[in-house]
Amino acid sequence: MKNYLKLIRWPNALIIVLSMYFMLTFVINPLLGMTAFSDGLSVTEFVLLVIATLFIAIGGNIVNDISDINPDSVNKPGRNPVGRGISVAKSWTLYYALTILGVIAGSLVSYFVDQINYSLIFLFTVGLLWFYSKKYKCQPLVGNFVVAFLSAISFGLVWLYQFFALVPETEVFTSVQSNFQIVNRMVLIYMGFAFFVSLMREIAKDMEDFKGDDRFGCRTFAVVYGIKKTKILLYIVSLIGFVGLFLVQYYFFLLQFNIHFWFFFLIDLFFVLIFVRTMKANNKEDFSKISLLIKIIMLLGIVSMIFFWFYRL
């Protein structure tokens, strides 16, 4: 069981579930003046959406671990369960089972909201994760942007499906329509947040995994351009995210979302710590600490969603 929990990366899976639940329950519905599951997505539809996103993401992690057996023997000795606690054949079976179930769940929820063509989103994601594991992750920056893009999508999916679930409910749809603009902006803010924070973490992981990637021919940005230039890249991406965060805080200030305005100063502090740590970082342990700080920023961003409950419109 321990090896299977490692394989599915249960902390990442938990973050996906919480972020999607928080987005619906604490961001979208309160800003629309609605109670969770009273209108729009039903419990069944939301669970199907989460299953689709979660299973496809776990499938992506599994195929990634299968492809990383050799590099992980250097980068993370003993931590990749594929080929050790779980055979490669069983890993492939689990990958196909979860991926197929994920696409089915995504197709069902698309059908229920009368947008069956949107099931292509899940097929596209499966394909992107496959090509990431086989090709993109070993190309400078391409793999980093793919992961960052997919991290941001899960936030947008919740609003996309909630919107189309509301369309047939004419009276409710009309009554909350005036609040769509602020919901759009908040969803985009969190999508942007997820994108930049994930991109930062992927760049930090490239430096952390430099030795194994270099030995087995994975041409990441760190391998191609060196650690020094990769640190500069992390500075640039972090600075863009940091400036964006200040603009978001100013927007919260204008909206009188005071809890968010002050809470985000805590996230600002972790950005400053990342700048300082990056400046001094020289080895794998240093880059691991930077990666941990970025994870904390991710968690703080998810926690911040809860505060929208106090701004019900």
DSSP 88-141: HHHHHHHHHHHHHHHHHHHHHHHHHTT-GGGHHHHHHHHHHHHHHHHTGGGSTT
Q: Which tens digit of pLDDT belongs to each residue from 251-292?
A: 999 999 999 999 999 999 999 999 999 988 888 899 999 999
- Please name which of 213, 200, 231, 207 lies closest in space to residue 287, comparing C-alpha atoms: 207
DSSP 215-282: HTT---HHHHH-HHHHHHHHHHHHHHHHHHHHHHHHHHHHHT-HHHHHHHHHHHHHHHHHHHHHHH--
When pLDDT is averaged across residues 45-68 and rounded to a whole number, the result is: 92
The per-residue pLDDT for 312 is: 57
The per-residue pLDDT for 100 is: 97
Q: pLDDT band at 110, cuts 50/70/90? A: very high
Cα–Cα distance measured from residue 279 to residue 87, given in angstroms and rounded to the nearest whole number: 41
Judged against a pLDDT cut of 60, whether residue 203 lies above it is answered with yes
Percentage of the chain lying above the pLDDT 90 cut: 68
Judged against a pLDDT cut of 70, whether residue 313 lies above it is answered with no
- Please name which of 291, 252, 244 lies closest in space to residue 270, comparing C-alpha atoms: 291
Cα–Cα distance measured from residue 313 to residue 311, given in angstroms and rounded to the nearest whole number: 6
Cα angle 125-63-74, degrees, rounded to a multiple of 5: 130
Please tell me whether the overall predicted TM-score, pTM, comes out greater than 0.85 for this model: yes
Q: pLDDT band at 154, cuts 50/70/90? A: confident
Q: Which tens digit of pLDDT belongs to each residue from 283-309?
A: 889 999 999 999 999 999 999 999 988
The per-residue pLDDT for 197 is: 95
Minimum mean pLDDT among 53-67, 76-90, 254-268: which range? 76-90
The per-residue pLDDT for 11 is: 87
CA distances from 15 to 9, 148, 208 (A): 10, 15, 22
3 state SS of 209: coil
Judged against a pLDDT cut of 60, whether residue 193 lies above it is answered with yes
Contact (CB, 8 A) for 134 and 67: yes
Q: Where are the domains of the chain?
A: 2-311
Which position has the token pair 């292509």?
Answer: 120
The per-residue pLDDT for 78 is: 67
The per-residue pLDDT for 1 is: 73
Across 65-69, 74-78, 243-247, 306-310, the highest mean pLDDT is recorded for 243-247
Q: For the chain, state the CA radius of gyration.
A: 20
Q: pLDDT band at 12, cuts 50/70/90? A: confident
- Please name which of 264, 236, 237 lies closest in space to residue 251, comparing C-alpha atoms: 264
Under DSSP, the state recorded for 86 is: B
| Helix segments in 167-225, DSSP class H | 170-176, 180-208, 210-215, 221-225
How many other C-beta atoms can be found within 10 angstroms of the C-beta atom of residue 188?
14
Q: Which tens digit of pLDDT belongs to each residue from 205-245?
A: 999 988 888 887 788 899 999 999 999 999 999 999 999 99
